[in-house]
A and B are shown apart, each in its own frame.
Chain A
Amino acid sequence: DGGITQSPKYLFRKEGQNVTLSCEQNLNHDAMYWYRQDPGQGLRLIYYSQIVNDFQKGDIAEGYSVSREKKESFPLTVTSAQKNPTAFYLCASSPGGGPGYEQYFGPGTRLTVT
């Protein structure tokens, strides 16, 4: 089956710990994205990558880091510097980065930090 997988579905961490969220796609898409979703705020872009070994900050990149060493993988690390990390995190991919390329979303990871 082709698609985007995110693991785990639920993640619990103690405050002050870094945590890495996994995102894998087998769609052969060039571009990948990370969004954060909070109630009543829609989806906000954290980071995006158009090609391997390259990525750009989105609107809310502070406290997050990413890597893009392989085309199919785009892990997101939520660092202890992120002040309010509890949220629903969504990974997406698209064949290209420009207009007309649809973004396809994974099932999401719900992170709870206490």
Chain B
Amino acid sequence: QQQVKQSPQSLIVQKGGISIINCAYENTAFDYFPWYQQFPGKGPALLIAIRPDVSEKKEGRFTISFNKSAKQFSLHIMDSQPGDSATYFCAARSTGFQKLVFGTGTRLLVSP
């Protein structure tokens, strides 16, 4: 119930392509879904976040798509760049519950 399932585990995309990472959850009490970006040896940094009252949120080249009925959300990176090469984590938090539940991460490599 508290799990967030993330796929794929790793992803290779050519420069300029679209990177897509998917997450799925079971707990309908989740109401906040952030994505974090982590470079090797560094702490994760918040990239973008969405609430289930909207179906899409876009910030620059990064877009979250949210499907409440399917209990799925995804991160799209448009025009992927080598500098986007990092590990990406989706997460979820439920109302009144202080803990974030993280997916297992996706290692993205954008080839030049």
Residue of B nearest to A39 (CB): B105
Contact at A105–B102, with CB atoms within 8 Å? no
Residue of B nearest to A106 (CB): B43
Contact at B95–A99, with CB atoms within 8 Å? yes
Q: How many residues of B contact A (CB 8 A)?
A: 26
Known: A90-B43, A102-B49, A108-B42. A58 touches B89 (CB 8 A): no
Task: Note all chain B residues with C-beta closer than 8 A to A102.
Answer: 34, 46, 49
Task: Note all chain A residues with C-beta closer than 8 A to B104.
Answer: 40-42
Residue of B nearest to A35 (CB): B102
Known: A90-B43, A105-B43, A107-B43. A42 touches B98 (CB 8 A): no
Q: Which of A43-51, A66-74, A77-85 contacts B (4 or more CB under 8 A)?
A: A43-51
Contact at B32–A100, with CB atoms within 8 Å? yes
- Cβ-based interface call for B60 (8 A): no
Task: Note all chain B residues with C-beta closer than 8 A to A50.
Answer: 98
- Cβ-based interface call for A98 (8 A): yes
Residue of A nearest to B34 (CB): A102
Known: A41-B104, A43-B89, A100-B32. A105 touches B99 (CB 8 A): no
Selected from B45, B49, B95, B98, the residue in CB contact (under 8 A) with A105 is B45
Known: A48-B98, A58-B99, A100-B32. A42 touches B89 (CB 8 A): yes
Residue of A nearest to B30 (CB): A99
Give the Cβ gap from B53 to chain A, nearest Cβ, in Å.
12
Selected from B34, B44, B97, B98, the residue in CB contact (under 8 A) with A90 is B44
Give the Cβ gap from B6 to chain A, nearest Cβ, in Å.
8
Contact at B103–A42, with CB atoms within 8 Å? yes
Residue of B nearest to A97 (CB): B98
Contact at B98–A31, with CB atoms within 8 Å? yes
Chain A residues near B (Cβ < 8 Å): 4, 6, 31, 40-45, 48, 50, 58, 90, 92, 97-100, 102-108, 110
Question: 6 A-B contacts, Cβ less than 8 Å apart?
Answer: A40-B9, A48-B98, A92-B43, A106-B43, A108-B41, A108-B42
